[in-house]
Structure 1
Amino acid sequence: MSRTILLLNENRGFGGGEVHTLQVARILSRRGHRIHLGVRRRSWLGGQAREAGIPVHTLPLANEVDYLSVGLIGLLVWRLGADIVHCHATRDTVLAGQAHFLFPRTALIKSQHTFVKPRLSNVYHTAHTRGVDRLVCVSQALQAQAMQVLNLPPERCPVVYNGLDTELALAPRKIPSFLREGRWVGVVGSFLPVKGQRFLLQAAPRILERFPETRFLFAGQGPERESLEEQARDLGDQVRFLGLQSDPLDILAGLEVAVVPSLLETFSLVSLEAMALERPLVASRVGGIPEVVEDGVSGTLVPPEDP
């Protein structure tokens, strides 16, 4: 049965949650569902969705008490005749939860991509237990934490692992020419402290002692870029930084080794992408990563914060 589904994601940047939202939109659309996407202005996700032919609706989503957005979400659900509202970020979930009284017969679902912060548990309790019909957890590690913090029974927060659009992942890749020269080890992801890029940079001198031809690549955006560039200064042209990529799979496909040095991850979509591209993978043994990567089989798991 074809459904009308409104996906919401307030994040403007690029990350695993945004990639997952885009993949859900593409795959459900191909399966005959009527998909619409609500985003903030100038979001990476909105631009990618428009290129994929998915209808995009711009919403303010300014903060958790943005009552204009509450009304606009309710109006959009009514105008589209949406059967399901599927949220992917905190702010849009809180706003859709407040608007739910306007569309009580429409199912409200949240895909949880990050660990629940205990200091926000009251907000999450209101948004999820009173407004959301299902809190979809992307790993067992996340489900266990959500059950504890939110006091939810397992049937209210089922585990549904993130999938991968293999048709897209296995399409011919446009690998940048510089990646075809040399041996590149790299991290693709947001420049945030929790992503742990600094630990790969700390390990770089020892790697270069054994493999002097190695080059290191860091692709993404975020507030840690400047400090990472300063940390890499002594390594000279053996380290390269790239900004936000329209198709990060082109970068991953060109790496000799993909690294996920995160301090915490609920799932790690980039690990799944690296495996699909048959790239050797080294990842931290944290959070939900061991549920994605089988140590010694599909990748190598290492302790976090241990360069």
Structure 2
Amino acid sequence: MERLKIGVICYPSLGGSGVVATELAIKMAAKGHEIHFITSSLPFRYNEPHENIHFHEVRIDGYAVFKYPPYDIALANRIGQVVEEQHLDLLHVHYAVPHAVSAVLAKDMIQSDIGIITTLHGTDVTILGHDPALRNTVKYGIDKSDITTAVSESLRKETIELIEPAKNIRTIYNFIDEEKYHPVESGTLRCDLGIQQNEKVIIHISNFRSVKRIPDLIRAFALVVEKLPSKLLLVGEGPEMPRIRRLVDMLGVTDHVLFTGRRDDLPELLSFSDVMVLPSEKEAFGLVLLEAFACGVPAVGTNAGGIPEVIEEGINGYIVPIGDPDAIAERTLRILSDSTLHPKMKEQAMETVKGKFSSDIIVAQYEKLYYDLQKKEC
């Protein structure tokens, strides 16, 4: 197959979109394609240099005439430069605003016919799309793209209902790197964290924003720990942290909740965890669920967004209503207390990743889109 030169535009910092964009680019480079990241800094998941991966920094200069640095314009200029200098075949942008809009502007500035694929990851629709001032901007980015994908069927439907784009939107699910996420030996990590052998481990990983509804999890955990020796691992950082710490203290579970901060050893943490809980009120997909499943951890999640497309009720976990700590506690206890159910769900969780969300399946779907776009351009 023809080797393609692909420009990738994404947020390089922490977040599911940056993870997926980077992992996809790395997989494409391994297949022989030439990848050109056009971002403000190296993506945080790009750890090992690859001969097929190149980085083009977007520099944002301050000008007295602008109150704020014009990132979208600087990005468009840099995209245009890289397209012309490197003779790129296509652009894959992650997020409609600002990345798709900047890509469209770049294409128009250099009068290029380069194809643009936009992947929607959630907040560009679920948050920006609800803002009347930005809805048309999101629609413009989608309609001016040649192909638009969404990371879940729920997000695809919400985009169509809210934005009413002229273009069709395809669902291509997220995936994870199975070479990193799989059951591993955790060494002394469990002991180092002060977790006793008789204690069950509940884990939550996020950026601790209000949309994650972590107080629901804390209240649920307070019910769980009354009936079962257990620890709650809260992995990550974010603006809700002070509120969460106060609630932990107020409910008297301080000795049972471990705040780990951001960690690079997620497979090790997941491998000795028993249940993942994701109580979000909005979640386009829920990438942490795949990370947990790949390490053999069943999950309890809310009926929000794409979560029910990952969790199969009673198979690899349970779905509960949003804002229902009692239901979270009951389902979590059901998994933890049943010595027959937990191993079955553990096995099925790993099978879910292999059968539906494996990198081979998802990367092949994106690669086909790339080639389809090239044929369309010809």
TM-score (norm 1): 0.89
For the residue of structure 1 that corresponds to 2:171, the secondary structure is: coil
- Cα shift at 1:268: 1.0
Matched, 1:203 2:220: yes
Partner of 1:243: 261
Q: In 2, distance between residues paired with 1:52 and 1:248?
A: 22
For the residue of structure 1 that corresponds to 2:180, the secondary structure is: helix
Q: Which residue, out of 235, 251, 255, partners 1:219?
A: 235
Q: In 1, distance between residues paired with 2:301 and 2:69?
A: 34
CA radius of gyration, larger in: 2
Matched, 1:123 2:137: yes
Q: In 1, distance between residues paired with 2:35 and 2:185?
A: 27
Would the alpha carbon gap of residues 190 and 52 (structure 1) be closer, same or farther in structure 2, given more than 3 Å must change?
A: farther
Whether the 8 Å CA contact 2:206–2:212 is kept in 1: the answer is yes
Larger CA deviation: 242-251 vs 26-35: 242-251
Whether the 8 Å CA contact 2:12–2:43 is kept in 1: the answer is no
Q: In 1, distance between residues paired with 2:307 and 2:98?
A: 26
Partner of 1:21: 21
Matched, 1:143 2:156: yes
Q: In 1, distance between residues paired with 2:289 and 2:221?
A: 21
For the residue of structure 2 that corresponds to 1:2, the secondary structure is: coil
Partner of 2:324: 306
Counterpart AA for 1:254: F
Whether the 8 Å CA contact 1:10–1:91 is kept in 2: the answer is no
Q: Which residue, out of 182, 191, 210, partners 1:193?
A: 210
Whether the 8 Å CA contact 2:4–2:89 is kept in 1: the answer is yes
- Cα shift at 1:82: 1.4
Aligned runs of 1:100-179 on 2, under 5 Å? 100-101=107-108, 102=110, 104-114=112-122, 116=125, 117-119=129-131, 120-130=134-144, 132-152=145-165, 156-170=168-182, 172=184, 174=186, 176-177=189-190, 178=192
Q: What is the CA deviation profile of residues 34-87 of structure 1, one whole-angstrom value per residue up to 9, with x for unaligned ones?
A: 11222223xxx6233143534333214786664232211110122222112111
RMSD: 2.3
Matched, 1:99 2:96: no
- Cα shift at 1:173: 5.6
Q: In 1, distance between residues paired with 2:119 and 2:244?
A: 31
Counterpart AA for 2:121: H
Counterpart AA for 1:192: R
Q: Which residue, out of 76, 81, 85, partners 1:79?
A: 85
For the residue of structure 1 that corresponds to 2:44, the secondary structure is: helix
Q: What is the CA deviation profile of residues 187-234 of structure 1, one whole-angstrom value per residue up to 9, with x for unaligned ones?
A: 0111111112111111122111101x2111111122112221222223
Whether the 8 Å CA contact 1:7–1:38 is kept in 2: the answer is yes
Q: In 2, distance between residues paired with 1:171 and 1:236?
A: 29
User: How many residues are treated as equivalent by the alignment?
Assistant: 300
Instruction: Quote the sequence identity (%).
Output: 27
Counterpart AA for 2:56: H
Which stretches in structure 2 are left out of the alignment for 5+ residues?
61-67, 326-378
